[in-house]
């Protein structure tokens, strides 16, 4: 049963007087539960509890942490239809998406459980002593990874499960040995509370220290207070460039600056070669219409920018892409604020000089449903106008028609950092594909060949991050088991007696 309260170190608390409700975007009405924002006192309690728990939890064995993570997955599954119904009610997304995302969330938890069941992930290194070495002896040195401390995780608006309360940031931080305090996203606070209750049950069943997990409700101020707390040692965030950059700046200004691992905006450029358009333009148009509108375009990997060289085939492709895109039924967006943001950003882009809207869903739509848009512009206009480079979060994509390959490369090299870049090409292509790959590699975190960027596999080889502003640190991923590396730091032990070493360094 949803209480609307904050989960502070396993106990539910509502000391504040600021309240809010979530919305059912499909029905365009408020949901019945009233949620109470966390007070500064409750945030203090959560942070101190997390710090006290860290002293114990950082020494909990990998097998015990694995049992905890698997228990969280089990408890989430045990919520059954109650969780699915809450997810649908707060997001406007279909039941199939809810169940799919629940499965992904559980898979992430189990993947990290498998990872930490042994100590290979710590990348331990051993350098034996050489006391007889000349001219100077060499000491015994051993290096390992240790957890940073309590982590603040910010739930994402577009993934109420997989990037939220028990999502990838939380799973990887708990796996590393870091307690977690989640700031739930106000758009799906009910979903977050249900998942928080599952984590609390799992912690109790597996004997984890009190304070290993907390979840707070609130808006901007709650987030600021959480990141500013001296016991918080790192931050995980998925969302807008504005929000991620604000947290990054707050963390940098602390007396003790801390890392913020923020995954933010991306237009995910797609290069389509003339040969590919000539051979299978209609097929590409159909495939990309589905990718552009998938999840109402509310994915960070949505293909918002398609780049090709202008030709007769390009004109046919643009028309076909527009036709295929607007033929797909409009879908509900996550919240009225997200829809209004989509319309405002889209209008700003399409009102720029040289931009032509070639396809848009017309007619009256249900409240919070989005009209898909396909626009086009010349490469020259795109290069001259930075406003055309911005992400439009929703079912929107722009085809940039370049005058030649050199202009296309200039556009790629001038883009801000992106999560993904895609190359649609033929084996016998006349374009210099290696030059294209090199240009993309310098701008993105993941390069796709003859596919779509939407869909992020959870596995060790996945890189979900990229040069700023795609993320705040391109060396790390927010998806896959390597995400654990964000929450640890290396420590070397020199000339230590074995009885004082951690167990995993005694070998």
Q: Which two tokens stand for residue 302?
A: 């949505």
The set of residues, in sequence order, having a beta carbon less than 8 Å from that of 91 and lying 6+ positions away, is 25, 98, 160, 187, 188, 191, 334
Cα distances from 116 to residues 68, 99, 133, 156, 339, in angstroms, run 11, 26, 37, 25, 41
d(CA 327, CA 324) in angstroms, rounded, equals: 5
Distance CA 292, CA 304 (A): 7
* Closest among 423, 430, 372, 435 to 398, alpha carbons compared: 372
Q: Which of 203, 224, 210, 212 is closest to 37 using CA atoms? A: 224
CB 450 within 8 A of CB 425: yes
Residue 145 near residue 178, CB atoms below 8 Å: no
Residue 225, burial from CB neighbour count under 10 angstroms (0-12, 13-18, 19+): buried
Stretch (H or E) spanning 259: none
User: Is 300 one of the catalytic residues?
Assistant: yes
Distance of CA 91 to the CA centre of its chain: 17
Helix (H), strand (E) at residue 13: strand 11-13
Catalytic residue among 263, 320, 324, 416: 263
- Options 7, 37, 101, 300, the catalytic residue: 300
d(CA 218, CA 20): 9
Neighbour tally for 78: CB within 10 Å: 12
Instruction: For residue 263, indicate whether it is catalytic.
Output: yes
Which 3 state secondary structure label does DSSP give 479?
coil
d(CA 187, CA 274) in angstroms, rounded, equals 43
Residues whose CB is less than 8 angstroms from the CB of residue 358 and which lie 6 or more positions away in sequence, other chains included: 318, 319, 322, 374, 375, 376, 399
List the alpha helices (DSSP H) in 58-121: 62-78, 80-91, 95-116
Q: Which two tokens stand for residue 61?
A: 């064995």
Rama region for 149: left / alpha / beta (φ>0; ψ in -120 to 50; rest): left
Q: For residue 280, with 0-12 CB atoms within 10 Å meaning exposed, 13-18 middle and 19 or more buried, which class applies?
A: middle
d(CA 31, CA 86): 10
Active-site residue list: 263, 300
């Amino acid at each position: 049963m949803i209480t609307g309260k904050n989960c502070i170190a396993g106990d539910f608390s509502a000391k504040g007087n600021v309240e809010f409700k979530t919305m059912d975007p499909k029905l365009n009405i408020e949901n019945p539960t009233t949620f109470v924002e966390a007070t500064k006192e409750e945030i203090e309690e959560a942070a101190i509890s997390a710090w006290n728990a860290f002293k114990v939890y950082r020494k909990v064995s990998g097998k015990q942490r694995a049992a905890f993570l698997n228990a969280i997955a089990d408890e989430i599954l045990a919520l059954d239809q109650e969780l699915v119904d809450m997810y649908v009610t707060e997001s406007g997304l279909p039941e199939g998406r809810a169940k799919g995302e629940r499965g992904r969330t559980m898979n992430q938890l189990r993947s990290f459980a498998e990872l930490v069941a042994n100590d290979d992930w710590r990348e331990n290194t051993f350098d034996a002593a050489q006391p007889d070495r000349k001219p100077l002896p060499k000491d015994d040195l051993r290096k390992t990874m240790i957890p940073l401390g309590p982590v603040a995780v910010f739930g994402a608006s577009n993934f109420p499960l997989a990037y939220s309360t028990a999502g990838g940031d939380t799973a990887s931080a708990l796996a590393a040995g870091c307690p977690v305090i989640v700031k739930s996203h106000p758009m799906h606070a009910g979903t977050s509370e249900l998942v928080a209750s599952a984590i609390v049950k799992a912690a109790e069943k597996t004997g984890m220290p009190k304070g290993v997990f907390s979840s707070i409700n609130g808006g901007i101020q709650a987030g600021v207070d959480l990141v500013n707390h001296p016991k918080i040692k790192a931050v995980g965030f998925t969302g807008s460039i504005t929000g991620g950059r604000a947290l990054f700046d707050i963390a940098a200004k602390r007396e003790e600056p801390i890392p913020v691992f923020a995954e933010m905006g991306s237009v995910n450029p797609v290069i389509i070669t003339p040969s590919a358009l000539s051979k299978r333009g209609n097929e590409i148009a159909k495939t990309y219409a589905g990718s552009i509108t998938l999840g109402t375009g509310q994915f960070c990997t949505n293909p918002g920018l398609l780049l090709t060289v202008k030709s007769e085939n390009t004109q046919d492709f643009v028309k076909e892409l527009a036709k295929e895109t607007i033929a797909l039924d409009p879908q509900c967006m996550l919240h009225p604020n997200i829809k209004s943001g989509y319309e405002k950003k889209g209008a700003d882009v399409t009102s720029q000089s040289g931009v032509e809207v070639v396809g848009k869903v017309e007619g009256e739509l249900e409240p919070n449903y989005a009209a898909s848009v396909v626009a086009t512009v010349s490469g020259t206009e795109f290069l001259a106008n930075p406003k055309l480079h911005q992400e439009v979060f929703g079912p929107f994509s722009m085809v940039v028609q370049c005058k030649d390959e050199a202009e296309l490369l200039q556009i790629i090299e001038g883009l801000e950092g992106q999560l993904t870049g895609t190359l649609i090409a033929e084996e016998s292509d006349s374009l210099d594909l290696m030059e294209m790959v090199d240009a993309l590699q310098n701008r993105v975190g993941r390069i796709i060949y003859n596919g779509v960027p939407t869909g992020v596999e959870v596995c060790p080889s996945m890189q979900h991050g990229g040069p700023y502003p795609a993320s705040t640190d391109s060396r790390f991923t927010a998806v896959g088991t390597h995400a654990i590396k964000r929450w640890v730091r290396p420590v070397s032990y020199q000339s230590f007696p074995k009885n004082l070493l951690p167990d995993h360094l005694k070998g």
